[in-house]
A and B are shown apart, each in its own frame.
Chain A
Amino acid sequence: MAAANAAAAALSVHELRKTYGTVAAVDAVSFAVRAGECYALLGPNGAGKTSILRCCLGLTAYDSGAIDLLGYRIPAQARLARQRTGVVSQMDNLDPDFTVEENLVVYGRYFGIDRHTIGRRIPELLEFASLGQKVHARISELSGGMKRRLMLARALVNDPSLILMDEPTTGLDPQARHLIWERLKQLLSRGKTILLTTHFMDEAERLADRLAILDRGHKIAEGTPRELIREQIEPEVVEVFGEGAVEWARDRAPSLSSRVEIAGETAFCYVTDATAILRELEQRPGLRHLYRPANLEDVFLKLTGREMRAEW
């Protein structure tokens, strides 16, 4: 039974519910990650993303539902499942007392990998992480991006078929983020399956084959990034801000756009054709605007009435 499931889905989560006291951190969430794809859980902090990952790894008990990871029942067989899974957690938990190389050797031992075997794999792992020059460096000598890449290399010591990543690029500068993204694509091209959580639209749009948008423990939408944008909202957005923007949006915008959302001091005007609204805005030098294609953030805003960014 395990093998048959695994062929279809690397991970399946069914009606998962996890409560802390009276608060449901995860409420009836279901999704399946197909082997070889990158699936993202997208949502603001507190949406339940990390709780889902912890449940999947068997690191916390859940109230009801079912999880199958690589054919193993979680939490009963969590240990076997973790043997074949790689995890990159959100916080840096590299061993500060060790060098880059020692971090990999020591971590490999937790999987029962002996020093000799890991020793042969280290050059390849460090090459992948672009840390070839840093074999003997201490962790304190590494930049944030290097540390995250070492975390990624460390998650690969057991050659996992599924990799779980919690906010893989949070806190990194743009250059470091691009390098991580590029590495994740390499992993996907090698046939690895990736489940990642993120609150970055661009990250989800760029990497995920499919994604689920989460809000307050609920899954509120699922699909490919393009599907979600196409199905849920108008193709273009004009963001209007500056003094008087909110008043203008109340009085004028509804007649010029198919839908208007106001979040904070900014009005989001959704349109299929922006010509009319842009012409109107030319007459209003006090207002500033940004004209762009719709993205996942807009989907989130429409479905919840809130900005994801505002909740950081």
Chain B
Amino acid sequence: MTNPAAFWRVPRVSRRFIPVWQRNMLVWRRYLLERVLSNIVEPAITLVAFGYGLGTLLPQIDGVAYLPYLAGGTLCVSVMYSAKFESLWGAYSRMEVQHTWAAILNAPVAIDDILLGELAWAATKSVLTGAAMLLIVWALGLARTPLALFVLPLSFIAGLSFSAMALIVNARAKGWDTLSTYFTIVVTPMIFLGGVFFPLSRLPPWLQEISAFLPLTALVQLVRPLMLDRVPEGAAFRLALLLFYAFGCYFVAVGLSRRRLLR
């Protein structure tokens, strides 16, 4: 019965993931203003400072001025950050500090449902962040195209993959430091390898190959063209990659979380 294989059974989910999502939503609504501000203000500053400050010094990139080029990348980083923060510090606090998950497990809800609820919630936050960023960009007179609205469903899918990766780290975390370390060695480098600030063609070829399989790269390569009123190239591969991260990492996160919590 205690054989390790039991932890790796295929996740079985039920509709009970919805109340987990609702719980997180209710907390978020409570702190709406501060959460939104912290999610939005920083990327907005980045955009304005780099876009205007640095942008005026730079030539066009791929036929686009730097500010609209940067807008797509910055939006993607914000989408990633909101899912990561929620599924790292948020989830860890609910699991280890407030024991919220332990309380939920005493009800007829499985870990599989809790993680799916967390995943869905993080993806929801990614969408909310994506929407707020679109508004800012729109206010700056950029991305005024209906194609830009595809950013919202893409934010959701990307939110799932960013969150699922983070939930693996959460399930293995020994403390807050583990989360910071993951952020430093995985999340931050992804920004520089993801084509956020400069084109991927500037990277050495071996790094370009790694970059092509990163979820942030996939998101940036989908979002930036859409915001520039273009149809993205290789969209099917990039979508498949995001979904692969979402499902694959969810599967691993469920196994590791069962091993951690069902002892």
Write the residues of chain A forming the contact surface with B, with a CB cutoff of 8 angstroms: 19-20, 57, 59-64, 79-80, 82-83, 87, 89, 91-98, 102, 106-107, 109-112, 158
Contact = CB atoms under 8 A, between A and B. Distances in A.
A109 B263 contact: no
Contact of B2 (A61, A102, A110): A61
**Which of B99, B100, B103 has the most chain A CB atoms closer than 10 A to its own CB?**
B103
Given A109-B19, A109-B23, 6 more contacts: A61-B6, A62-B1, A63-B2, A89-B106, A110-B107, A112-B16
Given A89-B102, A93-B103, A110 B262 contact: no
B106 A82 contact: yes
Given A61-B1, A63-B2, A93 B102 contact: yes
B186 interface: no
A110 B100 contact: no
Interface in B73-115: 98-100, 102-110
B100 A93 contact: yes
B1 A91 contact: no
28 contacts: A59-B105, A60-B262, A60-B263, A62-B1, A64-B1, A82-B106, A82-B108, A89-B103, A91-B99, A93-B98, A93-B99, A93-B102, A94-B103, A95-B98, A97-B26, A97-B30, A98-B26, A106-B19, A106-B22, A106-B26, A109-B18, A109-B19, A109-B23, A110-B20, A110-B107, A111-B108, A112-B108, A158-B107
Nearest to B14: A79
A300 B47 CA distance: 70
B114 to A, nearest CB: 10
Contact of A59 (B26, B30, B98, B262): B262
Contacts of B30: 97
B139 interface: no
Contacts of A91: 99, 102
A94 B104 CA distance: 10
Contacts of A64: 1
Interface in B104-130: 104-110
A83 B110 CA distance: 12
Q: What 9 A-B pairs have minimum CB-CB distances, sorted nearest first?
A: A110-B107, A109-B19, A93-B99, A87-B106, A93-B103, A61-B1, A83-B108, A82-B108, A97-B27
B99 A110 contact: no
Nearest to B19: A109
B106 A109 contact: no
Nearest to B101: A93
A60 B103 CA distance: 15
A102 B1 CA distance: 38
A89 B16 CA distance: 21
A89 to B, nearest CB: 7
B104 A110 contact: yes
Nearest to A64: B1
Contacts of B26: 97-98, 102, 106
B95 to A, nearest CB: 11
Contacts of B18: 109
A74 B236 CA distance: 45
A110 B101 CA distance: 11
A109 B18 CA distance: 9
Contacts of B99: 89, 91-93
Contacts of B1: 61-64
Given A60-B262, A82-B108, A106-B26, A19 B2 contact: yes
Interface in B7-32: 16, 18-20, 22-23, 26-27, 30
Contacts of A106: 19, 22-23, 26
Contact of B110 (A60, A79, A111): A79
Nearest to B23: A106
A95 B6 contact: no
B258 to A, nearest CB: 10
Contacts of B104: 110
A56 to B, nearest CB: 11
B168 to A, nearest CB: 22
A98 B94 CA distance: 13
A269 to B, nearest CB: 43
A15 to B, nearest CB: 13
Contacts of A82: 106-108
A79 B104 CA distance: 12
B27 A110 contact: no
Contacts of B105: 59
Contact of A111 (B2, B103, B107): B107
